[in-house]
Structure 1
């Protein structure tokens, strides 16, 4: 079996930031969004809000079907003999299984999952999701609340982030020597034209913009959440100065991690995060409402599986338009926006793994771990909400999920200690997203697996800088940017669409090349 060397960008000059079209469009987006927001913040919010609503109505069902198809086709590929093919033409993986799984979990779950893990299940408990008819706030509403949360962060969300698209990229890169860039997903359709023409640069830029919008949001929200938490726990001033200090500290952590690379900083941060998450999870399960959490998970998972298609195919015709827009469509669009660069990252770290192990790790193992995490935090929140220890109804109706996380943490055994631990955990989760996305954007812009150190730092600092400026204008503008994610999902979803048939085709091509199936 041949062993291709990974192309290195280490010999590139510091001044070379990569494709000028990608750089111009990506940085131009940051400048224009910030500039227009400074000029007329309200007008920007209104325009994006209208676009957000229109996209959810027109493309929402398409987004749902794309995620469904990706998941079922990926699982189908994993069941075929072609799934034995090794990624990257290596007989042995580049890193240990624990390190590999740690990076996958921390990068893909990230700050979003931690940010919503406490609040979303409680929200669905106090406001019954449209797929169910149970009375809110009752025992019957608990498995429904968990099932709806599992739908948003479970199998469909994870599958689109690193299965079929990752297979297409792995084959094109490691076998055909094409760069790890989103445009490579379209190479089998358009050929060399997409690789060297302006259209390829536009494709890459759309995916970079989607990831910038999706990453700046968690970075900014973390600053507000940490500021609120430090104020509650230690009496520090909850304001812009504290938020900026948190942003600077966060940027130093994830830029340092991105600069040192996958095998050093990113790997170390991910492993540390997993150990911390396991410790927090063990404390919650052992010293919290253990029996309640166990029953909640079993019932919630059962409801998730039995009502899977009902929740996955619910549209604005059968559910309130606002609910679909702000929940299912918003989350699915967010994951679609991340998908190409996440697929690049998964293809890069999975060298030496079989296609089957990559699909099962991303589309099965990781979602199950996510549902357990949501049960520990969100299930505990439901327990304390139902027993009157806390009341988050008003906060969640106003989408104050930062308040929910800290409130649930303080109600847990250990109170302030657990609250601080979860704040630290959330910070590291967001940092793992920042470092991996800084690295991935640098890979896209330079076209190399090991992009220049300056390029990695540039994108990490650029995202932190954008978050700082938007926070200066008000936390509401971070929310506006997150709504923009849904708009970026339109072009990105079209880039991902061919992977539905190109993914299986690439898997079989790799298997034939490795003499695992007949030619």
Structure 2
């Protein structure tokens, strides 16, 4: 693999490598404030514009195209996606558990960000956008209509535990692994050690070499990944307006109209755009820490004052059932209709985030070891997510068993916010609890919005710290697109949600080479860092590096 330190793939200027820190610095070049010289800007922006115009002027034709393409995507590529996610998880665990787990990523001997801040951003960015409304809705959905692998059970409690287990499969180990394990290793090595740009096309460099870094092919790859993650972010922003407006109407009688939805989304746009402009060390960290603290407080509150016994039993047995049925659930192909609206739908959604999330994780994880990254992303975060689903959705199941219809009736018609409110209204201090959950949901989606605004700006600009103008442009653009789509009714946003799965088709092939490139790069880095020496020497070597780095920071201050 060629060493491309100082390689320039952007038209805007030149990228040099700081010989002391090994980091890329962008130096003078022709001004390109919005990244207009990057073809990926025009491909991605043009495609999103075309989608919106069709939603306005040709909604029926757009719906037909999306429905046909969606069915084709899940039927043809569904099995491939299932194997891809399973293989990514298994290989990532092997890389993290072996000697390669001690590899230090990012060409920095000590972590750039402390552990709490780092984990808070990870938790609030990756799967958090859908983790509140879905945490209440998906378990009750599987309780009302049992997943085909489990089937109906006359024992209501066992039926509830099975519903939790199926939810854990969709939001647990496989989902987290595809958005930030092997791909993050590849991106971090090629960017920080080899000087390649923070762009999705970099994931294909080990396969195609330098030709993928320049020209139209690379721009098209970047554009596909930008469209996928933009669609995946615009959808939740739109649903935030629809669902929060519904909740405010139920709680306070505020009219559930487009005006209310507009105000909510404009507030969210302002919040996540300001956060994205402020950067990783300010707004994003502040919002992430706030939301993690709030989520933890709500979990403790519900664990103490909610159906405690059911929550504890549901989590233990749900995780146990997930592990026991892990391979059958991950590879289930018995009911393709059910798969297309559940497992394969979620896999397509998460795949669409994969390359851009890898870039974002690469940006915040310098100085972490592979083992720290894999353990956090592939094990700790999924188990925390499963516990969150048990706290919210498990409480709903307990209430439903005790009082049939108390949650399922509100959920009827796939009403996600209705399910959440049905749960919070049966907890102590229902009004306060409901408001806090709405705040939590809003901030979660805001943290997803600011991180993706930042990451898209990085890809378009070719800089690790994009200017405020380009961050503002992409933040507002995604929010305005959401507003236009919900102005047409929920059908516009629903079409976009289905379109996310279609975008996963090309993106999945961008992620595929990481299955073998991730372990190969990890082994090469282990050799470069002398990690095949005896353990004791390796540990002392790491400690010496950390000591020197800390000493240097003190001297600089």
What CA distance in whole angstroms lies between the structure 2 residues aligned with 1:498 and 1:397? Answer: 42
Larger Rg: 2
Cross-structure match for 2:511: 496
For the 8 Å contact 2:408–2:419, the answer to whether it is kept is no
Cross-structure match for 2:100: 82
For the 8 Å contact 1:7–1:450, the answer to whether it is kept is no
Cross-structure match for 1:430: 445
What CA distance in whole angstroms lies between the structure 2 residues aligned with 1:266 and 1:6? Answer: 22
Cross-structure match for 2:206: 188
- Shift, 1:19, TM fit: 4.8
Aligned partner (choices 434, 451, 455) of residue 419 of structure 1:
434
Q: Which moved more, 1:395-404 or 1:367-376?
A: 395-404
What CA distance in whole angstroms lies between the structure 1 residues aligned with 2:393 and 2:351? Answer: 24
| Local SS of the residue matching 2:157 | coil
Alpha-carbon displacement from aligned partner over 1:365-400 (angstroms, at most 9, x marks no partner): 100000000000000010111111753435545221
What CA distance in whole angstroms lies between the structure 2 residues aligned with 1:237 and 1:45? Answer: 28
Query: Structure 1 residue 309 and structure 2 residue 327: aligned?
Result: yes
Cross-structure match for 2:371: 356
Q: CA RMSD in A?
A: 1.6
Aligned partner (choices 477, 492, 497) of residue 477 of structure 1:
492
Cross-structure match for 2:531: 516
Unaligned runs of 5+ in 2: 1-18, 534-557
Cross-structure match for 2:5: none
- Shift, 1:85, TM fit: 1.2
Q: Which moved more, 1:505-514 or 1:274-283?
A: 505-514
Cross-structure match for 1:201: 219
- Shift, 1:174, TM fit: 0.4
Cross-structure match for 2:279: 261
Cross-structure match for 1:7: 25
| Local SS of the residue matching 1:88 | coil
TM-score (norm 1): 0.96
Aligned partner (choices 164, 175, 178) of residue 157 of structure 1:
175
Q: Which moved more, 1:106-115 or 1:462-471?
A: 106-115
Q: How does 1:119-134 map to 2 (within 5 A)?
A: 119-134=137-152
What CA distance in whole angstroms lies between the structure 2 residues aligned with 1:269 and 1:153? Answer: 22
What CA distance in whole angstroms lies between the structure 1 residues aligned with 2:425 and 2:46? Answer: 42
> Is the alpha carbon distance of 1:111 and 1:136 closer, same or farther for their aligned partners in structure 2, counting shifts above 3 Å?
farther
What CA distance in whole angstroms lies between the structure 2 residues aligned with 1:203 and 1:451? Answer: 20
TM-score (norm 2): 0.90
| Local SS of the residue matching 1:17 | coil
Cross-structure match for 1:338: 353
Aligned partner (choices 462, 465, 469) of residue 480 of structure 2:
465
Alpha-carbon displacement from aligned partner over 1:308-335 (angstroms, at most 9, x marks no partner): 11111011xx12x321111000000101
What CA distance in whole angstroms lies between the structure 2 residues aligned with 1:425 and 1:339? Answer: 24
| Local SS of the residue matching 1:147 | helix
Cross-structure match for 1:173: 191
- Shift, 1:10, TM fit: 9.8
Query: Structure 1 residue 387 and structure 2 residue 402: aligned?
Result: yes
| Local SS of the residue matching 1:7 | strand
> Is the alpha carbon distance of 1:306 and 1:369 closer, same or farther for their aligned partners in structure 2, counting shifts above 3 Å?
same
| Local SS of the residue matching 2:25 | coil
What CA distance in whole angstroms lies between the structure 2 residues aligned with 1:198 and 1:212? Answer: 20
| Local SS of the residue matching 2:133 | helix
Cross-structure match for 1:410: 425
> Is the alpha carbon distance of 1:94 and 1:387 closer, same or farther for their aligned partners in structure 2, counting shifts above 3 Å?
same
Q: How does 1:270-289 map to 2 (within 5 A)?
A: 270-289=288-307
Query: Structure 1 residue 148 and structure 2 residue 163: aligned?
Result: no
